[in-house]
Amino acid sequence: MGPEILRDLTFDIPRRSFQFLTGPSGAGKTTLLKLLFMSLQPTRGLIKSFERDITRIPRSELPMLRRRVGIVFQDFRLLDHLTTYENVALPLRVRGKEEGTYKQDVIELLKWVGLGERINVLPPVLSGGEKQRVAIARALIDRPEILLADEPTGNVDPPMARRLLSLFLELNRLGTAVVIATHDLALMDQVDARRMILTDGRLDIYE
């Protein structure tokens, strides 16, 4: 089956916690996030999500469980033909929710991430930092218990990176557990938080 990307890891993500996941490129950070998001399953070992072994969860139940986990992808994954508002509302629309039940929530969330004036703008005219904030808002619209962010500051300048970090810290203060995968040491140095360091497929944790 090829070499193991991750091996012999033992850790947990406590409720309402804040941590950085770091390590060199190719260490397996994105793979670990995918495992936490339940879009990958381990070839061996045990992963429990919300007290359930993910290998024993019926495929039909996974979408419901994933709603408790928000994920921000490194490449944003916005749909260019949809406005900022429509991109953020998309997870609710595909579930058949009536717009009247979520419209105000989407607008308030976009204001919270500083995009209140960009609600009707299409992604191609947004800056990298604005696209990243749209992606964050979309990940939060379901009010997840855990937020996973894959290199969320990799495409923005230092001032915007600090602003995004402030958003994540505020989100954590409101009760969401946050995991930020990054190789940005300057970003991590701004917060006294747990660090999980991946090296050669193994994980060291510094509280």
Domains of the chain (ranges, CATH numbers): 1-68+144-207 (3.40.50.300), 78-142 (no CATH)
Give which of 195, 148, 197 is closest to 171, Cα–Cα: 148
Q: How does the average pLDDT of the chain come out, rounded? A: 91
Q: What is the mean pLDDT of residues 5-11?
A: 88
User: Is it the case that residue 3 has pLDDT exceeding 80?
Assistant: no
Is the model more confident about 142 or about 79? Answer: 79
Give Dmax (Cα) for the chain.
50
Q: How far apart are CA 158 and CA 180, in angstroms?
A: 16
User: Is it the case that residue 1 has pLDDT exceeding 70?
Assistant: no
Is the model more confident about 176 or about 5? Answer: 176
In the chain, the amino acid numbered 21 is L
- Beta strand segments in the chain, E: 18-22, 48-49, 52-53, 69-72, 146-150, 177-181, 194-199, 202-206
Instruction: Kindly report whether the global pTM for this prediction surpasses the value 0.75.
Output: yes
- pLDDT value of position 159: 86
> Dihedral sign, CA of 71, 5, 47, 185?
negative
What's the start-to-end Cα distance of the chain, in Å? 34
> How does pLDDT run across 24-43, given as a tens digit for each residue?
888 889 999 999 999 988 88
Q: What percent of the chain has pLDDT over 90?
A: 61
